[in-house]
Amino acid sequence: MLQLFKKQSTLVLSQLLSLSIVFILSSCKQTANKESTSSFFAEPLILNVKDYGAKGDSLTKDTKAIQETINACHKEGGGTVRIPRGSYIIGTLYLKSNITLSLENGAYLYGSHDIKDYPIEGHADIEGFDQALLYAQDATNISIEGLGTIDGRGYPHIFPQKIKGQKERPHRPQLLIFVNCQHLRFSSTTFTNPAFWGLHLINCTGLHFDAVTIDSKENNPNNDGIDLDGCQDVVIENSKIHAGDDAVCLKSTTNRPCKNILVKNCDISSHTAGFKCGTSSKTGFQNIKVIDSWFHDCPMGAVKLQAVDGGKLENVELSRLVMDKVGGPFFIRLGNRGKQYQGLYTGNEPPSIAPEQVGSIKNIQIKDIVAHVSHTSLDRMGIMITGIPDHYIEDITLENIHITYPGGGTSEHTQRAIAEDIARYPEQFFFGVLPSWGAYIRHAKNITFNNVNLLVQGEDQRKKIVTDDVHNFQEN
């Protein structure tokens, strides 16, 4: 009997112990779940610049207050810096990792008119001027969003291109410079009136521009829209980019190429070039797509693909594009300017004699294009594809193309000899009026025209297509 009692007691104690363990584990799990749920539903950090002393009254310089807001947000691990409605005068702001700069509709960040408000200490040595309204370096996860406006106010009378009697060019700040940054997002914001280039990104990876407006067409010289130098994995979509200089410009001054770039569904206009690879072309450009976009009012040309500093330009697709009121629809140039670049950029002038290293251009697909050429200067018209002696542009296909030209060429133009200009800065009109009204092709291999309709509206004494030192040209 006693043994039976002991056995039952042991069994009860064992069951009680098991229940206690289950209860304890269950309690721990519930606590962990509560903490996890609490963390999951935690309010994101949003800091208002006015809480840090920003006035937004169009008179006060709010650089310090906004920078303090950015610093506080970064110190807490990141979040959103909110710019409420108002007009904020600022000098250089330094953006940091995990920061979203959110501009409300009616919020304006205006660039200061005092060049002293744009310090350059600690800035990377890059092409162009080092001053910028917004600057970031070695940062990740930065966003600029919202329906507000970032206005550089870089007017010529404030930041002139030249000053009489002064040899050195006066410095002109860019709107934005980001160097060695990753995971960048630009959404819905308007960027306007830079004193120099607009959005300049160097060696950055993972960029997404969506529904951005860039408007700098009637401001200062050199007003590029977006400059991508050595950047990779980039999408620019649903955006309006109107620039006085190049609208979307891929550059190569660093040791890595521009690579995996997609431009789609954009409204692009420029006094100089709608889309351009070059002129800076040290390493080169790979895997580039420009599709489903509208180019208009580009009197110096819609698309320019250039390799003149030793880099490789390859694997480019231009498709489903409409072009209206443009000069030359396509200018493809392999040259040997041979400008030297070291590190990020040293600013060295090109040598007097171009070096032996020459780059390459190959595998360009141009298809499903409708273009209306309407510029009145004959030296800006026509398709031009030209390499240099012994260095050929290769594997270019144009397919399903319809281009109308105004005409106007004379019999004298048919006799023009086109200079090689091997080391000269590459611009189509520097070559003068071409001896063809439709396409001029020189020093090239494997050029194919499939269903390419080139039409001239007025009288023109020149041939439709002229080839010189071209191997395997096919027109179907």
Burial of 346-379, coded b for 16+ CB within 10 Å and e otherwise, reads eeeebeeebeeebbbbbbbbbbbbbbbbbbeebb
At residue 100, the pLDDT reads 98
At residue 42, the pLDDT reads 66
Integer Cα distance of 428 and 255 in angstroms = 27
pLDDT digits (tens, 9 = 90+) for 216-259: 988 878 999 999 999 999 999 999 999 999 999 999 999 999 99
Contact assessment for residue 264 and residue 291, using Cβ atoms and an 8 Å cutoff? yes
At residue 1, the pLDDT reads 41
CA distance to 327, 440, 465, per residue, from 436 (Å):
14, 6, 6
Average pLDDT, the chain: 90
Residue 16: count of CB within 10 angstroms of its CB: 10
Q: Is 246 helix (H, G, I), strand (E, B) or coil?
A: coil
At residue 50, the pLDDT reads 98
Q: Which residues of the chain carry a pLDDT beneath 50? A: 1-39, 346-354
Q: What is the pTM of this model?
A: 0.90
Cis check: omega of the bond before 414, within 30 degrees of 0 = no
At residue 355, the pLDDT reads 52
At residue 19, the pLDDT reads 39
Integer Cα distance of 149 and 191 in angstroms = 6
pLDDT digits (tens, 9 = 90+) for 232-243: 999 999 999 999
Contact assessment for residue 348 and residue 125, using Cβ atoms and an 8 Å cutoff? no
The CATH homologous superfamily of the domain defined by 46-160+170-346+353-409+417-475: Single-stranded right-handed beta-helix, Pectin lyase-like (2.160.20.10)
Nearest to 337 by CA among 226, 237, 427, 243: 427
Instruction: Give the 3-state DSSP-derived string for 318-337, with helices as H, strands as E and coil as C.
Output: EEEEEEEEECCCEEEEECCC
pLDDT digits (tens, 9 = 90+) for 423-448: 999 999 999 999 999 999 999 999 99
Contact assessment for residue 52 and residue 82, using Cβ atoms and an 8 Å cutoff? no
Nearest to 101 by CA among 181, 174, 176, 186: 186
Q: Is 364 helix (H, G, I), strand (E, B) or coil?
A: strand
Each domain of the chain, given as residue ranges in start order, spans: 46-160+170-346+353-409+417-475
